[in-house]
Structures are given as C-alpha cells and as structure tokens.
Amino acid sequence: MERRFECTACGKCCYGWLPLSIDDALGHADRFPLFLQWTPVRQGGKSYDLAVELGLTIKLKNRKRAAVRIEPISYVPPDMPCPALRKDGLCAVHDAKPRRCRAMPLSGGRAENDQDDLLIPKADWACNTTSTAPVVYRDKKIVTREAFELERKQLMADADVLKPFAELMLDSIPSLRLDLTKLAQRPHGGCMILSFSTLVPRLAYVDIYALAAKQLPVMASFAKLTSETPKHADEHRRYTASAGEWRRILDGAP
C-alpha cells in the first residue's frame, strides 16, 4: 500500500489549532495566540508508546494508564485562518514557518505506522494525490523523511522541558490530575486547553515581560474577533482570560 501526496499551496489546511514546538511558539508570539494543549492518550490507543515518550503517565481504573501529551499550540477556532495565512493562500512566514507546517501532511507527533489518515485530503483541500505526485508513504513507512525527523527530534527535545513542568503542575494542582483522569476515561477522549504563561518560568532564557507585551495584543485581537459569534464562546472566554493574565504580568514589570 502506498500513498502519493504533493502540496499545491492552496492554504486550505491552514485553519484552526496548530501544534507548535516551544521555539516556534516563542518565535511567533507576536502572531499566534499561545496556549498549552493537554491530551490524554489511553493505554492501547494509537501512538500510545510515543505519547509515553513525549509526555507523562497517569493511573486510570483497572490498573490501566494513560499518557498525557503537553504541547504549545496556536489556538485559533477551526473555521478561522491561521494569523500567518495571506489572502492569496500563501504563508506569510514561509521561511520561518513552524516545524509542524514543514512536516505537513505527516506528523512527527504520531507513530510512523499511524500516518495513513493524514494523507487523505479533506473535501475542499487541493492536495495532489494523483499518479503525478511523489510517493510519500509506503507499507506504513515514510519515504520522504527529513521534515518528519526534524519535527520528531524537536518534540523529543521539548519533552525534556514539558514533562518535568507537567509533573510539577500535577503535584501542585490536584484537580488537574483528576480532570485529566476523567478526560482519559471518556469514550471519545478530548483535551484541555490551559494557559501558556505557566510554562514560562521553566524557560530561564525567556523574558516574560517581553513575551507578555507580544501576547497581550494578540489575545485582545482574538477576543474581539470572537466576541460576537456564539459558536466562538469558549475561545472568546479563553482569549479574554489569557489577555487578563498577560496584562497582570505586564503590570508587575519592573
């Protein structure tokens, strides 16, 4: 079984949530509304072993476990374009675009044998999957590996920071462990979207005030964009709360 794929740069997949490396998040903090996505993956689920390597594990009932992935994301409603998507469908930050975008449609955050569905374009996407496109996946092995390997390497490096951070959060906020456990036991899973600012004290090289100065206008702008549409109520609430957090941080600047 082989799959062919070629990007024609239609920009149709540049909508909604975008997982980011820590460096990509910090490098585009003046553009992307940053949050942390916490996703439990139940034991036996797809890419579970990789999730254990990249995240932490929590106990469930019946001696089962779940791995929890923690990832920075650009948190944009699914029907809204990435802030870097230009009107002509091209990427405004092409030369510095995130690792995730470079690896598209493959994902370094998934096991190599779990990429099949990513190579099936959605109805309105203009990806070329005909016989003129190169073979990118054959017998569950990735053929063109470079961008995939770079993303995987970055995720492994980020895990060295994100895992101890997440352990600390679980130890200091008991309700977080409980909420993740409940989420992991739901039939269709799910994820939690939490503040990005809590991670910053773990990144000794980051000036939190400079970061707050970049994130505050981004959050305020997304809060405004989502203020009048009932379907964006959850996003609006998070942008507003996050803007408040970044404002409080800025107010405490020396």
9 is a site residue for ligand SF4 (CB under 6 A): yes
Cβ of residue 48: shortest distance to ligand SF4, in angstroms? 27
Per-residue DSSP letter, 198: G
Q: Which distant-in-sequence residues (6+ apart) come within 8 Å of 234 by Cβ?
A: none
Asked if residues 83 and 32 have their Cβ atoms less than 8 Å apart, the reply is yes
Residues between 103 and 132 with contacts to ligand SF4, criterion CB under 6 A: 104-105, 121, 125-127
Q: Output the six-digit token pair for 35.
A: 């949050």
8 is a site residue for ligand SF4 (CB under 6 A): yes
Which alpha helices (H) appear in the chain, and where do they start and end?
22-27, 48-54, 99-103, 146-172, 174-185, 208-225, 233-251
Stretch that binds ligand SF4, among 3-11, 198-206, 223-231, 243-251 (CB under 6 A): 3-11
Cα four-point dihedral sign 121, 122, 126, 131: positive
x/- string (CB under 6 A) for ligand SF4, residues 15-44? ---x--------------------------
101 is a site residue for ligand SF4 (CB under 6 A): yes
Cβ of residue 147: shortest distance to ligand SF4, in angstroms? 12
Cβ of residue 10: shortest distance to ligand SF4, in angstroms? 4
Q: Is the previous residue joined to 105 through a cis bond, with omega within 30 degrees of 0?
A: yes
x/- string (CB under 6 A) for ligand SF4, residues 72-91? ----------x-xx-----x
Asked if residues 99 and 154 have their Cβ atoms less than 8 Å apart, the reply is yes
* Binding positions for ligand SF4, rule: CB under 6 A: 7-14, 18, 82, 84-85, 91, 93, 97-98, 101, 104-105, 121, 125-127
